[in-house]
Structure 1
Amino acid sequence: MPAKKDKGLVEGTIIWFEYFEQNKAFFSPLFSSNGTITFRNRFLDFVIEEIEEKVDLRNGKNKGISEEVFFRFLGMENVRVMELYTLDATPESTDSIAEQVSILLERNL
Structure 2
Amino acid sequence: MAKVDRRIKKTQDALKNAVLELMAEKSFDDITIQDLSDRANVSRGTIYLHYMDKYDLLDKLIETHINELDDRCKAAADLDFVSGSLIWTEYFEDNYPFFSMMLASKGAPYFRSRFLDFLNAEFKDEVDVTRGKNKGLNKEMLVRFVASAYVGVVEWWFMNERPISYQALAEQLGALLERNCD
Mark yes or no: TM-score above 0.5: yes
1:65 aligned partner, one-letter code: L
- Segments of structure 1 that go 5 or more residues without pairing to the other structure are none
Say yes or no: does 1:44 pair with 2:122: no
- Within the alignment, does 1:107 sit opposite 2:182 as a pair? no
* Superposition TM-score, scaled by structure 2 size: 0.54
The answer to whether the 8 Å contact 2:76/2:84 transfers is yes
Separation (CA, whole Å) in 2 of partners of 1:24 and 1:34: 13
- C-alpha distance in 1 between matches for 2:101 and 2:95: 11
Distance in 2 (alpha carbons) for counterparts of 1:104 and 1:27: 21
Q: Structure 1 stretches (4+) deviating beyond 4 angstroms?
A: none
- Aligned twin of 2:160: 88
Tell me the equivalent position of 2:134.
62
Q: What is the CA distance between 1:34 and its match in structure 2?
A: 4.9
Q: Report the counterpart of residue 106 of structure 2 in structure 1.
A: 33
SS at match of 1:33: coil
How big is each residue's C-alpha offset from its partner over 1:67-97, in whole Å with a ceiling of 9 and x where there is no partner? 2221111111100111121233451111111
Sequence identity (%) = 43
Against the structure 1 CA distance between its residues 90 and 7, is the aligned structure 2 distance closer, same or farther, given a 3 Å change threshold? Answer: same
Whichever residue aligns with residue 125 of structure 2, its letter is: E
Name the counterpart of 1:5: 77
| Contact map agreement 2:129 2:135 (CA 8 A) in 1 | yes
Higher relative contact order, chain-length normalized (CA < 8 Å, sep 6+):
1
Equivalent residue pairs, number: 107
Measure, in 1, the Cα distance between the counterparts of 2:126 and 2:142: 13
Larger radius of gyration: 2
The normalised TM-score by structure 1 is: 0.85
Shift, 1:49, TM fit = 1.8
In the TM superposition, residue 100 of structure 1 has moved relative to its aligned partner by: 0.9
